[in-house]
């Protein structure tokens, strides 16, 4: 075993791995985000205060908007200024929450905005106008419009998605990758004089991999045999859960069998496979001179109860928290290439962080998983062996840049056994100073309006020097600090 703790060179855990996605869909915006300034629900400039505070609490660093699929029919000019009407053929939802309100949400949370351009039914010109509205000085055509709308200072939006990676057939399977490559170049050319200030996210694969060859052909078209710059990021989407064909064995959101529980957590290996695949695409078709990274911009469980009728709302239990924790571990372990990961979506839709309904506000198991693990953000990944081969355990270790603090998170998937793990010798110079865990007595517990805290974070008492403990179906995060003797 190693005598000293080693950081993995080049594996810096980007704070953007705790990003989220908020789409004009279901009740995510109305009322999961926007309640208006006159609402009795506590708000800051019309945005729910509980949602703002909750996002800060679990370490959200970037928010993607307006879609997803919604980006494919969103026309940003409908959502600015005083006169805003609903557009039937788009989402049909109100336009009260538009670009300026989204920027306000990001400002209040302290998160980076990520805007997704409408490539499917929009034009490069519309995109360039949006870019100028967000980033132009007040003497430009659209920058002055923004100033007239009360926002004289440019927002400085750096990250732009060029279209939406989608598993819906209208997008990838029916679209020629070269055609998308052309679109990518047309949209890029539309903001050509601003490219030094922006990072563009191009399409990678979603979970329906019938589209083999798609990403390679797109990249090849754009880079011409590694000669030209490709996208700064490739977007990857992947949902797991019974609503998604080949994951039927995940079962119900709450009444799942033990087999379904293990199948679900085991399916996370697909995320590693996605990353490995995109690593190959990037290595084969882009040049080191213009590095392309991965933006895993939709991840999560999609249960059977999330249907159009429910506005994609679903229930969550401790299984969802463990799924979130294991997914984040995968992203941390690939932090040399995965720079963004967006849990999907932040309120009321799919594997949400919050469930809202008027005055009701509930933090989900996924919220607590993200909160527990946020201590890893900004650290460097460590290469540590705990000397055990236990498929039920998933352990991730990171160290702060100056080396004073070490964070260890342990996920115990076992439904029956508590685990005890010896702290390896390379950490003998560090003392365990605190630990927190999510360890409900029953794995199928959920947080509801009536019982909002069945799944929550608790301090671990009676810490034992040299030992880490993880109860059955739990996750625990230890913080260690360099001791005096060093
Ligand atoms: O997150 C819901 C939808 O799932 C998104 O709009 C789309 O990108 C994905 O298919």
Q: Identify whether 1 is part of a domain.
A: no
Asked whether residue 409 carries a pLDDT value surpassing 80, the answer given is yes
Q: Would the pLDDT of 175 be above 80?
A: no
Q: Summarize the confidence of residues 386-399 as an average pLDDT.
A: 96
Model pLDDT for residues 16-42, shown as the tens digit of each residue: 999 999 999 999 999 999 999 999 999
Smallest Cα–Cα separation from 99: which of 86, 116, 123? 116
* Cα-to-centroid distance, 206 and ligand 1 (Å): 10
Q: Name the residue range of residue 303's domain.
A: 7-379
- Average pLDDT score over the chain: 95
Q: With 70 as the cut, is the pLDDT of residue 173 above it? A: no
Check if the beta carbon of residue 170 is closer than 8 Å to that of residue 121: no
- For residues 395 and 419, is the Cβ–Cβ distance under 8 A? no
- pLDDT computed for residue 91 by the predictor: 84
Residue pLDDT, tens place only, 375-387: 999 999 998 999 9
Pair (375, 389) in one structural domain: no
Band the pLDDT of 7: cuts 50, 70, 90.
very high
pLDDT in tens, 435-475: 999 999 999 999 999 999 999 999 999 899 999 999 999 99
- For residue 161, how far is its CA from the centre of ligand 1 (angstroms)? 14
Neighbours of 453 (CB within 10 A): 10
**What local confidence, expressed as pLDDT, does residue 55 receive?**
98
pLDDT level of residue 120 (50, 70, 90 thresholds): confident
Ligand 1: list residues with CB < 6 Å. Answer: 23, 67-69, 164, 166-167, 237, 298, 344-345, 350
Residues 172 and 249 in one domain: yes
68 Cα: distance to centroid of ligand 1 (angstroms)? 5
The domain that contains 449 carries what CATH number? Answer: 2.60.40.1180
Contact 408, 397 (CB under 8 A): yes
Instruction: Check whether residue 260 and residue 391 sit in a common domain.
Output: no
Q: What's the gap in Å between 350 CA and the centre of ligand 1?
A: 10
Closest protein CA for atom 8 of ligand 1: 68
Residues 119 and 129 in one domain: yes
Domain edge (last residue) among 379, 402, 424:
379
63 domain-assigned: yes
The per-residue b/e assignment along 299-316, b for 16 or more CB within 10 angstroms, e otherwise, is bbbbbebbeeeeebbbbb
Please report the pLDDT score of residue 168 as a whole number. Answer: 54
- CA 364, 397, 410, 477 dihedral sign is negative
Pocket test for ligand 1, best of 73, 119, 164 (most atoms within 8 A of CB): 164
Which is more confident, 11 or 167? 11
The verdict on 233 and 118 lying in the same domain is yes
- pLDDT over 70, % of the chain: 96
Does position 169 have pLDDT exceeding 80, yes or no?
no
- pLDDT score of 218 more than 50: yes
Residue 212 confidence (pLDDT) above 80 = no
- The answer on 364 and 430 residing in a single domain is no
Q: What does the pLDDT look like over 41-87, one tens digit per residue?
A: 999 999 999 999 999 999 999 999 999 999 989 999 999 999 899 99
Q: Which stretch of 60-64, 88-92, 170-174, 365-369 has the lowest confidence by average pLDDT?
A: 170-174
Q: What is the CATH number of the domain that holds 154?
A: 3.20.20.80
Of 379, 398, 432, which residue constitutes the final position of a domain?
379
Confidence of residue 213 (pLDDT cuts 50, 70, 90): confident
Domain annotation covers residue 20: yes
pLDDT score at 206? 79
**Rounded Cα distance, 147 and 71, in Å:** 24
Does 239 score more than 70 pLDDT?
Answer: yes
| Residues 439, 478 within the same domain | yes
Q: Are residues 417 and 371 in the same domain?
A: no
Mark whether 115 and 256 lie in a shared domain.
Answer: yes
pLDDT digits (tens, 9 = 90+) for 177-203: 888 899 999 999 999 999 999 999 999
Residues 372, 401, single domain; the answer is: no
Total domains in the fold of the chain: 2
Where a domain ends, among 379, 398, 430? Answer: 379
The residue whose CB lies within 8 Å of the most ligand 1 atoms, and thus the one to mutate among 26, 344, 345, is 344
Ligand 1 atom with minimal separation from the 21 CA: 1
366 within domain boundaries: yes
Q: Are residues 426 and 453 in the same domain?
A: yes
* Rounded-to-integer distance, Cα 124 and Cα 38, Å: 37
Residue 207 clears pLDDT 80, i.e. is over it: no
- Which of 19, 21, 24, 67 has most ligand 1 atoms within 8 Å of CB, for mutation? 67
Cα 69 to middle of ligand 1, angstroms: 6
> How far, CA to CA in Å, does 55 sit from each of 36, 40, 231, 381?
19, 21, 29, 24
For the segment 107-122, the average pLDDT, to the nearest whole number, is 96
CB 168 within 8 A of CB 69: yes
In a domain, 135, yes or no: yes
Domain check: are 412 and 435 in the same one?
yes
2 within domain boundaries: no
pLDDT at 1: 57
Does some domain include residue 271? yes
- Per-residue pLDDT at 170: 53
């Amino acid at each position: 075993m190693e005598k000293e703790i080693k950081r993995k060179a080049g594996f810096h855990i980007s704070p953007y791995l705790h990003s989220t996605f908020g789409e004009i869909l279901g009740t995510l915006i109305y009322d999961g985000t926007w309640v208006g300034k006159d609402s009795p629900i506590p708000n800051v400039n019309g945005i729910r205060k509980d949602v703002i505070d909750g996002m800060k609490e679990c370490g959200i660093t970037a928010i993607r908007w307006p879609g997803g699929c919604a980006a494919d029919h969103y026309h940003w000019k409908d959502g600015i200024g005083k006169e805003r009407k609903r557009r039937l053929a788009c989402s049909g939802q109100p336009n009260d929450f538009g670009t300026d309100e989204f920027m306000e949400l990001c400002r209040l949370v302290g998160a980076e905005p990520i805007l997704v351009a409408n490539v499917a039914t929009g034009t490069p010109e519309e995109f360039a106008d949006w870019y100028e509205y967000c980033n132009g000085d007040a003497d430009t055509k659209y920058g002055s419009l923004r100033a007239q709308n009360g926002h004289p200072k440019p927002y400085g939006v750096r990250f732009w998605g060029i279209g939406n990676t989608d598993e819906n057939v209208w997008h990838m399977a029916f679209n020629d990758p070269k055609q998308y490559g052309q679109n990518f170049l047309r949209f890029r050319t539309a903001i050509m004089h601003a490219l030094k200030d922006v990072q563009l996210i191009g399409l990678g694969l979603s979970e329906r991999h019938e589209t083999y060859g798609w990403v390679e052909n797109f990249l090849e078209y754009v880079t011409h045999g590694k000669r030209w710059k490709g996208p700064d990021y490739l977007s990857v989407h992947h949902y797991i859960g019974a609503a998604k064909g080949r994951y039927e064995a995940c079962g119900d959101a709450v009444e799942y069998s033990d087999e379904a529980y293990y199948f679900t957590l085991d399916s996370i290996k697909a995320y590693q496979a996605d990353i490995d695949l995109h690593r190959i695409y990037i290595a084969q078709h882009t040049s080191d001179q213009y590095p392309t990274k991965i933006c895993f911009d939709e991840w999560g469980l999609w249960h059977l109860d999330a249907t159009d009728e429910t506005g994609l709302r679903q229930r969550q239990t401790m299984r969802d928290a463990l799924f979130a924790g294991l997914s984040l571990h995968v992203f941390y372990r690939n932090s040399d290439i995965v720079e963004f990961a967006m849990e999907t979506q932040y309120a009321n839709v799919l594997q949400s962080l919050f469930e809202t309904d008027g005055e009701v506000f509930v933090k989900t198991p996924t919220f607590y998983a993200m909160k527990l693990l946020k201590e890893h953000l900004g650290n460097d990944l460590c290469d540590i062996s705990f000397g055990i081969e236990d498929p039920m355990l998933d352990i991730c270790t990171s160290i702060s840049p100056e080396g004073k603090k070490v964070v260890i998170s342990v996920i115990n998937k076992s439904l029956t056994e508590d685990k005890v793990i010896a702290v390896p010798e390379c950490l003998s110079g560090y003392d365990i100073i605190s630990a927190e865990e999510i360890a409900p007595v029953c794995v199928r517990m959920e947080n509801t309006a009536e019982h909002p805290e069945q799944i929550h974070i608790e301090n671990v008492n009676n810490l034992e020097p040299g030992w880490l403990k993880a109860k059955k179906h739990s996750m625990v995060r230890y913080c260690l600090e360099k001791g005096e003797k060093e």
